[in-house]
Structure 1
Amino acid sequence: MPHTIVTDVCEGVADCVEACPVACIHPADTKNAKGTDYFWIDFETCIDCGICLQVCPVKGAIVPEEKPDLQRLPV
């Protein structure tokens, strides 16, 4: 099951982007509710390896399950 980046918790640190072995994490073209950049995970590409969870310094920014309601995707 894919992981989810919680849009309004993400602070745009991007450690997850470089660590992802399948390049499924992408930058959004807008800001989140905190006014920071954020990233999103492509559920179709995610292999559920958990590396993003391990490297993200922002507590609660990534959850180990597919939760589309928590992650805003590009329009």
Structure 2
Amino acid sequence: MPHTIVTETCEGIADCVDACPVACIHPGPGKNGKGTDWYWIDFATCIDCGICFQVCPVEGAIVQEERPDLQKTP
């Protein structure tokens, strides 16, 4: 099951983007409610490797399940 970036918790640091082996993490348009850039995970491409979860320095920004209700997608 793919991971989910919690859009309103993401701070746009993007360590996950470089670490992702299948390039399934993409920038979202505009800013989130915190005023920061945000990223989203393409559920169809994610291989559930967990690297994004391991490298993200923002606690609670990535959850280890598919939760479209927590992740905005463009």
Q: So what's the TM-score if we normalise by structure 1?
A: 0.98
- Equivalence map 1:1-75=2 (5 Å): 1-74=1-74
Q: Percent of aligned positions with the same letter in both sequences?
A: 77
Q: CA deviation at 1:30?
A: 1.3
Q: Unaligned regions of 5+ residues in structure 1, if any? A: none
Residues 10-31 of structure 1 deviation map (CA, whole Å, 9 limit, x = unaligned): 0000000000000000001111
Structure 1 outlier segments of 4+, above 3 Å? none
Q: Unaligned regions of 5+ residues in structure 2, if any? A: none
SS at match of 1:18: helix
> Which structure shows the bigger proportion of residues in strand conformation?
1
Query: One-letter code of the match for 1:6?
Result: V
Provide the C-alpha distance between the structure 1 equivalents of 2:39 and 2:30, rounded to a whole number of angstroms. Answer: 10
CA RMSD of aligned residues (A): 0.3
SS at match of 1:58: coil
Aligned residues: 74
SS at match of 2:11: coil
